[in-house]
A and B are shown apart, each in its own frame.
Chain A
Amino acid sequence: MNELNDIYANFVVELRRGVTNLVVLSQCQQPTYGYQLVKELADSGIPLEGNTVYPLLRRLEDQGLLRSDWDTSTDKPRKYYQITELGRQLLAQITSYWRESVKNIESILEA
């Protein structure tokens, strides 16, 4: 039984790996910061750990899909991320790819 659980956990990790990028990118249309993003996603039923989201934001920034600004106007400085034009284009493509895939996978799972 333990073995099945292990395989299941592994399977989920593999499945989520690519989807996480799409989820995070899609939630950066408005400026947002790491902790806020984690909370919002959890509220939407997508629990992602901070140790996944924080590094991912930075990697997406390195790829030019997000840009960032430090907001130091309050006593709590925060680093805000927002999608770039390149990010928008990619998001549109990935979103339609995702919808198409889900539709097709659903139909073969039903069969």
Chain B
Amino acid sequence: MESKELIKRYIYAVTKHLPENKRQDVGQELQSLIEETLAERSQGAQPTDADTKTVLMELGRPAELAAKYDPHAKDALIGQPHFSVYLRVLKIVLLAVSLGMAIASLLQVITGFEGSVFELFGNVLSNIWQALLGAFAWVTVIFAILYQKDVKLDVEMEDMEDLPEVPEKRRQIKLGEIIASFIFTILFLILFVVVPQVNIPFSVQGTDWIPIFNPEVLIRMRWLFIAAAGAAVLNQSVRFFTRRHSLPVFLTTVIETVMQVALLFTWFTSPNVFNPDFTAVMGSFIPSFFTPANWAPLQRFPENLSAMPLLLLIIFGGVLLGSLIELIETGVKTFIGEKP
């Protein structure tokens, strides 16, 4: 190739990596520097193509030279300090999704999968694989954006004075607890939102597996379920990043509890909350316990509450109480310090 053309191509290969406003100037400067070097080497004679190649080789690969001109350019999709947080989050998310999908697939299998054992395994594995790919993509995209946009993840590290104090033992949040509740949330989402027709499968003495809850109600209310799960994930994220009971943890716990209670009331006060087949089966064992009529009193809460069967009241109250106890526990750990 002719010397001139070679130089032109080299400069283009360098400058195309640079920001638009720098290209022309860097290009002209490189051009003059290369020509000067060539003139010096060939001592006034016409430089040969071999000389040109040598000079360009000394300047190095175009992309590497360009990188030296633009050292602040991000050369990683996700770099530090985001990368270590990304790895931690990715591990937990992938673990939770695998477990959630495994359990959901198992339930789907129980409720009646027609086909060979191989098909069944293939089905389960491909479901898990799909879910893992999706989760991986989402986490990666989110962290890539955070890194590229320079969003700070460790706000507390700006100043040594702001380093968080080592939390008292009681204020610490164990990673295991966060992971457990995250897995539970994912499972909850999968069962009630992704596969509402399965939800909680139930079988009694060799009968077919049937869902306990009415899928139609679940489908109608799916946005409320998603919102409740979102509030839970928000709370878990705050817990994950701070790892100690603090005001943000408490506030997000309040939001999560409010969402849970709202979901519980909306769900259990809707007519036909249970699968009619399920209430029919139950009716033959414990007559009239799960019929819509027994739930009706809840729809005019609270004046007719006493008309509800004790067992249902205990189940409903139990779930409610569980949420409230968690909220109170968080409040105590947040606002009341350790005894000296």
Contact = CB atoms under 8 A, between A and B. Distances in A.
B28 interface: yes
A55 interface: yes
Contact of B60 (A35, A51, A56): A51
Interface in B20-65: 25-26, 28-30, 32-33, 35-37, 40, 58-60, 64-65
Nearest to B67: A55
A76 B68 contact: no
B69 A55 contact: yes
Interface in B261-297: none
B69 A58 contact: yes
B71 interface: yes
A98 interface: no
Contacts of A64: none
Contacts of A58: 26, 29, 69
Nearest to A56: B68
Contact of B32 (A49, A51, A52, A76): A76
A13 B35 CA distance: 28
Nearest to A79: B29
A51 B33 contact: no
Nearest to B71: A59
B68 A34 contact: no
Given A78-B32, A79-B29, A50 B69 contact: no
Interface in A12-50: 33-35, 49-50
25 contacts: A33-B33, A34-B33, A35-B36, A35-B37, A35-B40, A50-B33, A50-B37, A50-B58, A51-B58, A51-B59, A51-B64, A51-B65, A51-B68, A54-B33, A55-B69, A56-B68, A58-B26, A59-B71, A70-B28, A76-B32, A76-B35, A77-B28, A79-B25, A79-B29, A79-B32
B40 to A, nearest CB: 8
Contacts of A78: 32, 36
B36 A50 contact: no
A54 B28 CA distance: 12
Contacts of B58: 49-51
Contacts of B68: 51-52, 55-56
Nearest to B68: A55
Contacts of A33: 32-33
B22 to A, nearest CB: 8
B24 to A, nearest CB: 12
Interface string B67-105: 011010000000000000000000000000000000000
A35 B28 CA distance: 14
Contacts of B71: 59
Contacts of B40: 35
Contacts of A70: 28
Contacts of B69: 55, 58-59
Contacts of A49: 58, 60
Which of B25, B32, B40, B60: most chain A Cβ within 10 A? B32
Contacts of A35: 33, 36-37, 40
A12 to B, nearest CB: 18
A76 B30 contact: no
Given A34-B29, A51-B60, 8 more contacts: A33-B33, A35-B33, A49-B58, A49-B60, A51-B68, A54-B30, A59-B69, A78-B36
A70 to B, nearest CB: 8
Nearest to A36: B36
A7 to B, nearest CB: 22
A79 to B, nearest CB: 5
Q: Max chain A CB contacts within 10 Å: which of B28, B36, B37? A: B36
B58 to A, nearest CB: 7
Contacts of B59: 50-51
A79 B31 CA distance: 11
B36 A54 contact: no
